[in-house]
Amino acid sequence: MRELILDDDRIFPTEPAARAIARRIFTEIRDLPLISMHGHVEAAVLANDQPFTDPARLFVVPDHYVTRMLVSQGASLESLGVARRDGAPVETDPRAIWRMFCAGWRYFRGTPSRLWLTQQLYEIFGVTVEPSLETADQLYEQIDAKLHEPAFRPRALYQRFGLEILATTDSPLSDLAAHQVIADSEWDGLVVPTFRPDALVHINRAGWKDAVARLEAVSGVETGDYNGFLAALRQRRAFFIEHGARATDHGHATADTTPLEPADAERIYRSALNGSVSAVDAAAFAGNMLFEMAQMSADDGLVMQIHPGVVQGHDPQVAATFGPDVGFDIPLPVDFVRGLRPLLQAFGRDPHFRCVVFTIDETTYSRELAPLAGVYPAMRLGVPWWFLDAPQAMLRFREAVTETAGFYNTAGFVDDTRAFTSIPARHDVARRVDATYLAQQVAGGVLGLDEAIETAIDLTVTIPREAYPPLKG
């Protein structure tokens, strides 16, 4: 049995002088509130405040970072308890799933999952031995017992984690009932929705027509033509703002933001409603909708978050069997310079508009994103996301963008997680990386320590608070 170790100096530079500086900087930001402006925890988790079911369903089944690594080494998604769309049986014994995970612990060496999992196990659940086939059952019992204690319910953890705000990701069709429950409760946590219209703007995806019909129903605005569709979306944005929303979120295959002529938009929209739309038209419509959404953001103040460049369901058989978000989404190269040009020309210098742009194509950091964010006042760089949300990748981000865009054209850290208990660990890693990067600047004689501390605090709380301001009085 190996001891589970959580080094208090983890991620910091190894050179002692730089390490001491990093530790000094980190001390100033370690316990600042967590501002979680972009994530995938369901509001219902905090509305219902029910205990988490079991260790496997907390740590393994819903976390595609974890399942994809085990799949890459030969496990089937079924054996990891991931539900099939056809209802065919999958593993339901959480102990069996947990054992597979523990047996594969070594596959996570060198990955951020290992860091996040270790910190959760150690700090939240008091685990002090490494997961392995031998220790699996013991750890299962230890964690499972904790999960039944009141202190491990979601709302208690929210407070323990020091969350200042938690943004969820929500369909425009949502009635935001869970958010309302939280708002009506005596609990004082802040959980705000985020407007994510993907299912409505990608007009050749399965279910789009149904979604439009539901949009009409929930908005009370007729969606039979393109202008009605836009008006209905505006109604939902206003509804989201009433419920505390501060931002929208957009997942697209490309960064294209070219507006269509109104007649063309109308024509494509109607042909989609009639059930036939070409892939080219659908792509053009999606780009057009990013432009329309930017216009709406310039009007209503919702911050626009853009996440382009992903092949969803790279293996279509997996997608058909298990649906999305099971680890088979793969990045693509993105052309931000030409893609964002229409949006930035129209709104890039508009003081009422703000967009935060994310990428998992790190080749664009120094060539495209930093030069763009380093001049357009409306644009901020989203910090590393998804596959790049890891110590070395985050350091590469700072190294590649800071020299052109500085620190103040980036946005704060976003944890982007489905795993509620991983939120503190994810912010902890990001804060350590920023402390490390700043410490190297101090040790390298190009930044003063007081400036570095000020910058660290700005990156941790000032910038995210300013980047996502409240819109509701």
- Between residues 44 and 395, which has the closer beta carbon with respect to its own copies? 395
CB 163 to its own copies: min, Å: 25
**Please, what is the angle between helix 262-273 and helix 279-300, to 10°?**
120
Strands 247-252 and 163-167, by their bridges, are: unpaired
- Between residues 21 and 45, which has the closer beta carbon with respect to its own copies? 21
Give the residue among 343, 339, 334, 332 at the shortest CA–CA distance from 379. Answer: 343
Question: Could you give phi then psi for residue 296, rounded to 5 degrees?
Answer: -65, -40
CB 297 to its own copies: min, Å: 17
CA distance 279 to 273: 14
Give the residue among 348, 264, 262, 254 at the shortest CA–CA distance from 306. Answer: 254
CB 326 to its own copies: min, Å: 9
CB 283 to its own copies: min, Å: 15
CB 405 to its own copies: min, Å: 7
CB 72 to its own copies: min, Å: 5
- Between residues 238 and 319, which has the closer beta carbon with respect to its own copies? 319
Provide the Cα torsion 420, 423, 425, 427; round to 10°: 170
Calculate the CA 287 to chain-centre distance. Answer: 21
CB 154 to its own copies: min, Å: 28
Token pair belonging to 56:
């496997």
Angle 216-217-220 from CA coordinates, rounded to 5°: 70
Question: Could you give phi then psi for residue 190, rounded to 5 degrees?
Answer: -110, 110
Contacts of 109 (CB under 8 A, 6+ apart): none
**Please, what is the angle between helix 391-405 and helix 423-443, to 10°?**
50
Runs of H (alpha helix) within 174-261 = 177-184, 198-201, 208-219, 226-242
The amino acid at residue 76 is: S
- Between residues 87 and 445, which has the closer beta carbon with respect to its own copies? 445
- Between residues 263 and 446, which has the closer beta carbon with respect to its own copies? 446
The string of DSSP codes covering 130-167 is ---TTTHHHHHHHHHHHHTSGGGSHHHHHHHHTEEEEE
- Between residues 43 and 61, which has the closer beta carbon with respect to its own copies? 61
- Between residues 148 and 314, which has the closer beta carbon with respect to its own copies? 314
The amino acid at residue 336 is: F
- Between residues 144 and 434, which has the closer beta carbon with respect to its own copies? 434
CB 298 to its own copies: min, Å: 16
CB 221 to its own copies: min, Å: 34
- Between residues 64 and 243, which has the closer beta carbon with respect to its own copies? 64
